[in-house]
Amino acid sequence: MTTPEWRVPEPLDTVEIEAAGGARIILRRHGDVKGPRLILSHDNGLAIDLYYPFWSRLQSRFELIVYDLRSHGRNPTADLATHNVATFTADEERIRAGIEEHFGAKPAVGVFHSLSAMVALNHDPPGRGYAGLVLFDPPMYLADGDHYGIDTLWRRLGMLARHRQPRFATRGEFAEEFRRSWVFEFTRPGVEHLAADVLLQPASDGDGYELRCPREFEAQVFNYGFAYAFEPDTTDFACPVTVIGGDPGVEFSSLPSVDLEGLIGWDYDFIPHTTHFLQLENPEECVSTMIAFLEREGLA
């Protein structure tokens, strides 16, 4: 079987907005501009273009506004001191305002994975400004859960991120490491090459390639993210919300993820035989499950 080659197309429109502290965030529009609007973002240390195997399946039906969190993906690196969930949450307010200013006002559904999903849940109330939220494997924990154990896990992930290889001689070297990683072992063939394209940039000194999101930025989010990961009260939501998780029976519990005991009262489903990176492993089922929710709620 030939390995698929994922190429993110040029956006229909691109707009750069300014967030707090002068951080720059680049908004891109894809898909059918007359369709229902979806706003999409990604997990810690990654980039929304990495999710192209997922969101490419939405282009024919939806208007897609995609963006990277500050200091990720296509955005320039901002100040490390303000690289945290509280700042991401404030940025998201500015991003939504920028979308309406430049692309027009209409109802929008937020489609977020992990860190960006946690950001969406930290608004007061969660879902404010959205017609709906689709949250893929958000890190959420019961307020009376094992705080010490969970905080230890997050800090361990921060330590691992801080010791990531920061530079690569070639994109191929990065792709090989990505494919060998147990974290990404179930992702679709070809995703490793897409990752090398969208997660790396030419090194500033001209010698090889470096991570677009510097490792110390990724680590800092893990070090302090636990404080923002508690489950909100479902009665407080400002819009319909669904959680789509990885398979709880799959042995992949090393990443911060949804606590199933806390999902009473939530609209919840999971994708069988997938992990925390379900959108890169079974994008077809992720899309199908998401659209079923949107259609039930009259959002698609």
At 134, the pLDDT band (50, 70, 90 cuts) reads very high
pLDDT of residue 193: 97
In a domain, 7, yes or no: no
**Residue written as token pair 């990495």:** 50
pLDDT at position 223, please?
A: 87
The rounded percent of the chain whose pLDDT value lies above 90 is 76
Asked if residue 257 has pLDDT above 60, the reply is no
The rounded mean pLDDT for the chain is 91
| 188, part of any domain | yes
pLDDT value of residue 266: 80
**Within a 10 A sphere around the Cβ of 34, how many other Cβ atoms?**
7
What is the structure's pLDDT at 234? Answer: 75
Residue 4 included in any domain: no
Residues 258-285 have pLDDT tens digits of 555 555 668 999 999 999 999 999 999 9
Number of domains in the chain: 1
Closest CA to 256 of 155, 126, 107: 155
Answer whether residue 259 is part of any domain. Answer: yes
Task: Kindly state whether residue 74 falls inside one of the protein's structural domains.
Answer: yes
What pLDDT does residue 254 have? 38
- Cα gap 66→63, rounded to integer Å: 10
Residue 8 included in any domain: no
First vs last C-alpha separation in the chain: 34
Find the helix or strand (DSSP H, E) in which 269 lies: strand 267-271
CATH of the domain at 94: 3.40.50.1820
Tell whether 255 is covered by a domain.
yes
Q: Across the strands, what pairs with 167?
A: 210
- Residue 231: pLDDT above 90? no
What tokens were used for 209? 């390639």
Residue 3 lies in a domain: no
Determine the structural domain holding residue 150 and report its residue range: 13-296
